[in-house]
Every structure is written in C-alpha cells, then in structure tokens.
Amino acid sequence: MSSFPIARMRRFRRTDGLRGLVRETRLVLDDFVMPLFIGPSPFANAELPGLGRHSVDTVGLEADELVRLGVRTVILFGIPDEKDDDGSGAYDDDGVVQRALRVLRDRHPQLVLLTDVCLCEYTSHGHCGVLEDGEVDNDETLTLLARTAVSHVEAGADAVAPSDMMDGRVAAIREALDDNGFDATPIIAYSAKYASAFYGPFREAAESTPAFGDRRGYQMDPGNVREALRECELDVDEGADMLMIKPALPCLDVIRAVRDEFDLPLAAYNVSGEYAMIKAAAARGLIHERQAALESLTAIKRAGADVVFSYWTKELAAWL
C-alpha cells in the first residue's frame, strides 16, 4: 500500500462522475418494499405519508401510482373494523388484508404482494398472540398464525412474513402452507425482531399498542447479537426462505453479523420510528430529509441487507 503523498484519497472525490464510478453501494428500487396499511377507512397522514391508511376501495389507486413509479413489492398490514381476544380478523377470509389482496392480485398481476403475519393488529389486547393467564401462549398462537398465512396465500399473497416472534412459527406456517398445496410460497421470517422503542409511530397507525405490559416476553432484548444468530439458525432449520432484522439503523451490526454467517437473502426493516425521526427533524428545518433518507438506506444496504422494507420506498421511487 502506498502512502501520502503518492496516495491521495481525494482524487476520486473530485467530481460527481468520479465519485459515482467508485461508489460501492447503490440503491436500486427492485430491492425496496413499500408497506401499506389497509383499514376500514382511508386516512391521509400529512406528517408521515408512508404511514397513511388505505381502504380496500382506495388501495387499488395507490397501487396504480406505486406501479407507475416503478415500485415492485408491497407488504400489507391490516387494521380490522373490530378486534377480539383471538384476533379472528387476521384469519377471516373476508378480512381487510384478504380483500385487499384479491383487489391487488387482480389489478396488478406483476406486483409482488407480501403480507405481515401477526395477530397484534387484530387482538383487543394488542399482543401478538392469544392470552392464557395473562401471558401470550406460544403454542396456541401458532395454529392461528398458520391459519392466517394460509388465508393470505389463498387470497393472492406471493410470500408471507411472520413478525410475531413466537417460537416455532416458521415450521408451523411451512407445514400449513405445504398441506394446502402452497409449497412454492416463500416465508420471509422476521427472525431477529427486537423489542424496540422505534415501533411507536407504527403502533399509532396500526392501533396495536398493547393494552397492558409490553412485548419483551417475545421480542428480543436490544443488548443481544449472539441470540439473533441463534434465532436465524432456528428459522433456517424450520424452513425460512429469507431472514429479516428489525429495526434496521439501531441494528446495523446485527445485519452485518447475519450477512457474514448465512447465505439466505437478508432483509432489514427501516421502521416507523427511524422514518418519523427524520421527517420530524426535517419539518423543523434541522435536517435535509432526502439526504438523510438516502444516507440511512445506503447504510442499511452497506451493512449487508439485500432487501429493505421502508416507508420511503414511494418517495425513493420518485428520487431515483
């Protein structure tokens, strides 16, 4: 290796063209997933446009625009009309997500449709599973998650993404999908999902804040990285087709560790709080939104994510 003055690192930083020539990490729209919230009625969120809501009747128009901009993949979240103890809206064949899937499948055959498989938006208590003596019952919940996944795929989902963090959910979903003839449908496992403060704006949008307690009994402790590798290993054994780390920016080291250890495609979820912080700072004139967003998304890719779930996906399509 040469050193100064023979080496001058600034030579390739001189012009935009030279910088572009040596850029190691690039953002390509194909790698991005746009989350869409489907509720009983539409709601435009002026502060956080990515966290606005669509109804079954309006989601088609939103999809038209996304497709026109070049977005290839969306993930659907549902906010049902009514919630109950067992989260039955999640596996109702006539539920919001199932109905939206039928609309979108028909209207845009090429659009990749993913679904979030979890009960928290559908339970009256807001936990990600059914309760037994005030605690989330792991094994009872698995049956309902598997039913939810099958009903999503029957309605047109291309892949399902379980985000509940119950033990054994990937195996339970794989078995149920296979039993129903869906052995070609991939599972994107939110393998390492941390109990994070950065989900706050999502829980507002999805009305899924737990009525009591918190999610630390099933989501991971932010201090742990070896445990994340073990979660991934178990999910690979159970048949996961893609791994996911969530949140993204507070977990860049976890993304890198998983990238180095596993060969499966890897996703990272740039969550609502990561998006809202920059939006809020930009609204106060403290930060340049577009630059901060592009830098965040580039950092997530550079850490090793192949796929990024981000509320900026729609704006990114316009920026790119």
Residues of this chain that interact with ligand PBG (CB under 6 A) are: 116, 118, 120, 128, 163, 199, 202-203, 271-272
Q: Is 314 a catalytic residue?
A: no
Q: How far is the CB of 120 from ligand PBG (least distance, A)?
A: 5
* CB nearer to ligand PBG: pick between 185 and 219: 219
Task: Give the nearest distance from C-beta 77 to ligand PBG in angstroms.
Answer: 7
Gap between the Cα atoms of 140 and 3, Å rounded: 63
Output the smallest distance, CB 231 to ligand PBG, in A.
15
In angstroms, the CA 183 to CA 316 distance is 33
Print the SS3 string covering 22-73. Answer: CCCCCCCHHHEEEEEEECCCCECCCCCHHHCEECCCCHHHHHHHHHHHCCCE
Calculate ∠ Cα 220-113-298, nearest 5°: 60
CB-nearest residue to ligand PBG: 202
Q: Which two tokens stand for residue 33?
A: 């997933």
Nearer to ligand PBG, 61 or 197 (CB): 197
Question: Do residues 153 and 164 make contact, with C-beta atoms less than 8 angstroms apart?
Answer: no
For ligand PBG, the closer of residues 20 and 34 by Cβ is 34
| Residue whose CB is less far from ligand PBG, 203 or 290 | 203
Q: Is 193 a catalytic residue?
A: yes
Nearest distance from residue 265's CB to ligand PBG, in Å? 19
Report d(CA 47, CA 311) in Å as an integer: 12
Residue that has been written with the tokens 């496992």 in this structure = 189
Peptide bond into 5 cis (omega under 30): yes
Shortest approach of ligand PBG to residue 143 CB, angstroms? 18
Nearer to ligand PBG, 21 or 101 (CB): 101
Answer for the pair 45, 307: CB distance below 8 angstroms, yes or no: no
C-alpha distance from residue 88 to each of 139, 157, 237 (Å): 16, 19, 29
Nearer to ligand PBG, 9 or 38 (CB): 38
Instruction: Kindly state the greatest CA–CA separation across the chain.
Output: 71
Minimum gap (Å) between residue 202 Cβ and ligand PBG: 3
Taking Cα atoms as reference points, which of 300, 312, 317 lies closest to residue 248? 300
* Residues that are catalytic: 193, 246
